[in-house]
Structure 1
Amino acid sequence: MIEIALQITLAMVTLAVVLNIYRLIKGPDAPDRILALDSLYINAIALIILLGMTLGSRMYIESALLIAVMGFVGTVALSKHLKRGSVIE
């Protein structure tokens, strides 16, 4: 039963990733693209965790944590660049 739920969840999160990529490419302005990138890395974390659950491996949790940290830093850097024009003051 859990395998079926994992497969359905993987399909739904994959659809969310595809829609985020569409918004990232087509976004009308920069804040929409930054928000799409933020959602994309959150969905990538979900995909990696679900893949780890499907394969029964704990190794994927470390990569999900790395993506979370890098995604947060990237979002902050892009937002600062959009607001001030530079990342480092």
Structure 2
Amino acid sequence: MNLIMLFVVMAGASALMGAWRLLSGPTQTDRVVGLDVLFAAAIVASLCAAWASGRTVFLDVAIGLALVGFVATLAWARMIGHGDRDPARRRP
């Protein structure tokens, strides 16, 4: 049980750091990294819940979070890569 608590505390600390980077990141890339850290912390928390309770439903949640995190990262990276293509919306 002590090992599970250590993992939960570490996941919580990394979630706080990821949330800080997501909210205060000066660039879009920093925000993507923060989002990835938040998803990783949520996956670790879900895996710890599965380990502590012995229920496999939390493993399905972890797989779903990993899938959503991957797709969100790809979508955000594509958005960053294309930039703002509308010349009327660009700032001088």
The TM-score bracket by the shorter chain reads: 0.7 to 0.9
Structure-2 separation of matches of 1:4 and 1:34: 32
Structure 2 unaligned runs (5+)? 85-92
Counterparts in 2 of 1:1-89, with a 5 A limit? 3-85=1-83
Structure-2 separation of matches of 1:29 and 1:85: 13
The ranges of structure 1 where at least 4 consecutive aligned residues each deviate by more than 2 angstroms after the TM superposition are none
Number of aligned positions between the proteins: 84
TM-score, normalization: structure 2?
0.85
Q: Percent identity?
A: 25
CA RMSD of the aligned region, Å? 1.2
Please say which structure displays the higher CA radius of gyration.
2
Structure-1 separation of matches of 2:53 and 2:78: 38
Structure 1 unaligned runs (5+)? none
TM-score, normalization: structure 1?
0.88
**2:41 maps to amino acid:** N
